[in-house]
Structure 1
Amino acid sequence: MSTATTTDRILTGDRPTGPLHLGHYFGTLQNRVRLQNEGVDLFLVIPDYQVLTDRDVAERLTENVEDVVLDYLGAGVDPTRSTVFTHSAIPALNQLLLPFLSLVSAAELSRNPTVKDEIAHSRQAAVSGLMFTYPAHQAADILFCKANLVPVGKDQVPHLELTRTIARRFNERYGPVFPEPRTLLSNAPLLLGTDGTKMSKSRSNSIALKASSDETARLIRSAKTDTIREISYDPEHRPEVSNLVLLAALCQGRDPHEVASAIGDGGSAALKATVTEAVNTHFAPLRARRAEYAQDMAYVRKLIAEGNERANEIAETTLDEVRKAMGTFRMP
């Protein structure tokens, strides 16, 4: 597993399909802010085109993009130290897709585990070409800025391996242009949703970062538990209860066994009260910062435009290197 240093450039991001939730925060966002603050060159892509991989239309896209950016800012992403940009605003990035597709076979695309999973959960009646070429799109996202380190979960390692393959084949065929990005494996905890399944925006079982204190309390009260009064942390045998215990522990910076022991035989009511207080206390500063930024959306849009400008400059430089290496026509 790779570790990040100040010489690394990291590319990561979130599809704008709705506001980010607690699972995003503890799974990736908190770590991104830490890496940024340690001096790593962080690129955060909002891949708005890729919303269409599993949807027929991109509904409320502008609003969703701005929601994600507000979540980033609230969590502590600093646009003066990190580059936040939207996929669709970087034409040179998207021009990399054609040469990249020439470097992979249809069979390699079709057997990619991430593509298979996306197809299985697709909202579309038929698989689109965009869905099929998703790994090449992601390779362009990563390689346009020559990111050499990409945070992934274990299930996404094959996806990044195809990016490495594309970089290697391009370099072998045309000359050295791209790094082969390394994986930064995440050991972040997996939080379940209020229904006991994976927390997901599409399943309506998540608690949004921007949720109010009252909304948070309501959602936690509805969370699935069990009938055993004594609270314990046992993810294998008591996944729903243990998930709530873990959430409180993450918010309080405590060991989950310690949290469970403190609640004791208080039952699910005491557990949910503990979790509600922990979540609302921990996220109060984030929500306050987010609300402050939301009062000046002109400024937020200016930050997005500035991020797009920097990403465009880098993408144009990279595309020029690609054209030179491939011997294609370049504008004087």
Structure 2
Amino acid sequence: MKRVLVTGAAGFLGSHLCDRFIKEGFYVIGMDNLITGNMENIEHLMALENFEFYHHDVSNYVHVPGNLDYILHFASPASPIDYLKIPIQTLKVGSLGTHNLLGLARAKSARMLIASTSEVYGDPLIHPQTEEYYGNVNPVGPRGVYDEAKRFQEAITMAYHTFHGLETRIVRIFNTYGPRMRLNDGRVLPAFIGQALRGEDLTVFGDGSQTRSFCYVDDQVEGIYRLLMSDYPHPVNIGNPDEITISQFAEEIIKLTGTDQKVIYKPLPKDDPMQRQPNITKAKEILGWEPKVDRKEGLKITYDYFKSLPEEKLYKKEHKDFSKYNK
């Protein structure tokens, strides 16, 4: 039985990846420090013989007994609310955490895939974004802690590949959505649905002309799995090129939820990207991958998930003490 380590296993994408590898017959080792992850996302796996979980921060030394065939590094805050609260930990998990896991991969002769992001492109000057684009990133702006952590993560991963001959893969993830997202994590889709369910007006930052491209989680996981199993070591965009403005998206959510809220506008946060659309030519040609789930179908599944949550979760505000993670 092949063995895979998934960091960030209790998070949104990490938990779906654990499900996929269980389905494929792997022995899955999940690891998460639970800063932003939630054990509820993987509780259905805990009784399985081919799943085990480590409560651990990968920014510290990482040890896993036994052999490993694959490592997927998905341990990182991914929403602006999170990485603005824990900027030091965000930088550490992208640098120290990645270094620790690359060392583990080398020791175990494992193939390692890192979760990079479309944020490496910053506020892009080309559209759509290809993997050859170097980006337009402000390293000292509020989003720099996340953007530069991911850019360093790519650089050290490629250094291990070229210098040590380590088998590595780099996925650049564009906006992904689906069940198990956190309602109050600040990302646009759960924010809109949460506001609609609470009967609040939907908040659009800026004039709403900025664009995003939303990929359903099952499509994203399929692309990641194919990339891991490929022989391609360079970055690959995995996302849905079906682009929409934030204002149009707000109207879609209002229609989906059957509510009659207004859309209100607030100032655009500093360095918020104006355009986000992946060029997925490489994914199509190298992986034979493209998204299958259209936005209407994916949004319905996601809305039904949020609607099924207990009411207290809909109104719950997070009050975690993040001080120890910012040292």
Relative contact order, higher structure (CA 8 A, sep 6+)? 1
Pick the structure with greater CA Rg. Answer: 1
**TM-score using structure 1 length:** 0.38
The structure richer in helix per residue is 1
